[in-house]
Structure 1
Amino acid sequence: MKILITGGKSATALKLLKAFTEHEMVLADYDEVPSFSSAAYRFVSLGAKNEDTLAHTLLNNCLDENVAAILPLHDFEIEALAKATILFKEFNIEVLLPNQGDLMQYLNSKKSTNWAVFNHGNLIFATEPNETLIALAQATHLNGAYYVSEDDGQLNLALITI
């Protein structure tokens, strides 16, 4: 499967590549991007940032690159893509974000060294996988990349953004 991660020039995007070792990866970012590629990924430019046309720009790039899924990392992309999920699905492109109705509970600044990636409730990768995390993901059909922390035995998830 081919997956596009936005914020491709960031250390966060490069860190998330660990979750997708079995996939073809495209790291995308706005304006200029490095002109090299590796066996694990390649860079593409999304052009100049225009917040009025984010979903359209990202959809066009996903179609041009023939990707099956997109993982947005820029905080300014999250809401626009959450609203456009149905449009992306019409083109068989999975948006790796929580449902729009659940989005606000995962938008917080709580970062952790532990993180996990989910697709429709399935754990794709976790720095510290455990049964509680897997059960929560399946029960809530989690989608996306999250920082994972624990306070008094309670799991806390925060959407990974840059």
Structure 2
Amino acid sequence: MKAFPTHFVLLADYGDVPGMVTENYAFSSLGLLNKDSIAHILLNFCITEGIDSIIPLHQFEVEPIAKSAVLFGEYGIQVLLPDTSLIAGYIANEQTTFQNFAVFVKGECIFASGKEIFVSTDEKLTGVFGYNVADDELKLFTI
């Protein structure tokens, strides 16, 4: 929420989710989990709800959404993930907890919880990344 202070944020998950709406954010259900049609479920949800950016947080969502980023883009929905060809390098090999996270959009760090200043020259670096100290390799933040 701190990374997007001027945006209305819709938080969604699968199954039963308490419906709650505030001035700055809301909670919503994506319906039943069907891992075979993740991209379809999320694209349909984004279109129906008027979403303009999506950040997949479940690890099982990352690859299907990255592969469908062009389709999401055709509907004006920005996928906040690295390019499909780069994702493998940003996935943690084991379950990891991070002290900090940073949000990058097309190479620009728009938020870092540890207050570091990241200078990125890679325009493809997009997504939410976890790290402990600024010198760590950035890894996609997933749950």
1:11-160 equivalent positions in 2, closer than 5 A: 17-108=1-92, 109=94, 110-131=96-117, 133=118, 135-136=119-120, 138-150=121-133, 154-160=135-141
CA RMSD, Structure 1 to Structure 2 (Å):
1.6
Instruction: Give SS of 1:117's match.
Output: strand
Instruction: Give SS of 2:22's match.
Output: coil
Write the distance in 2 (CA, Å) between the matches of 1:40 and 1:96: 20
Asked if the contact 1:122–1:141 (Cα under 8 Å) also holds between the matched residues in 2, the reply is: no
TM-score, structure 1 as length reference: 0.81
Instruction: Give SS of 2:132's match.
Output: strand
Write the distance in 1 (CA, Å) between the matches of 2:68 and 2:36: 13
Write the distance in 2 (CA, Å) between the matches of 1:66 and 1:76: 23
Write the distance in 2 (CA, Å) between the matches of 1:121 and 1:155: 17
* Structure 2 alignment gaps of length 5 or more: none
Summarize deviations over 1:6-29 as a string: whole Å, max 9, x none.
xxxxxxxxxxx1111110110111
State the AA in 2 paired with 1:117.
V
Asked if the contact 2:59–2:142 (Cα under 8 Å) also holds between the matched residues in 1, the reply is: yes
Instruction: Give SS of 2:97's match.
Output: coil
The answer to which of 87-96 and 121-130 deviates more is: 121-130
Asked if the contact 1:117–1:145 (Cα under 8 Å) also holds between the matched residues in 2, the reply is: yes
Instruction: Give SS of 1:62's match.
Output: helix
State the AA in 2 paired with 1:156.
E
Summarize deviations over 1:53-81 as a string: whole Å, max 9, x none.
11011000000011110000011100100
Asked if the contact 2:20–2:28 (Cα under 8 Å) also holds between the matched residues in 1, the reply is: no
State the AA in 1 paired with 2:17.
V
CA positional deviation for 1:139: 2.6
The share of aligned pairs that are identical, in percent, is: 40
* Structure 1 alignment gaps of length 5 or more: 1-16
**1:161 matched residue in structure 2:** 142
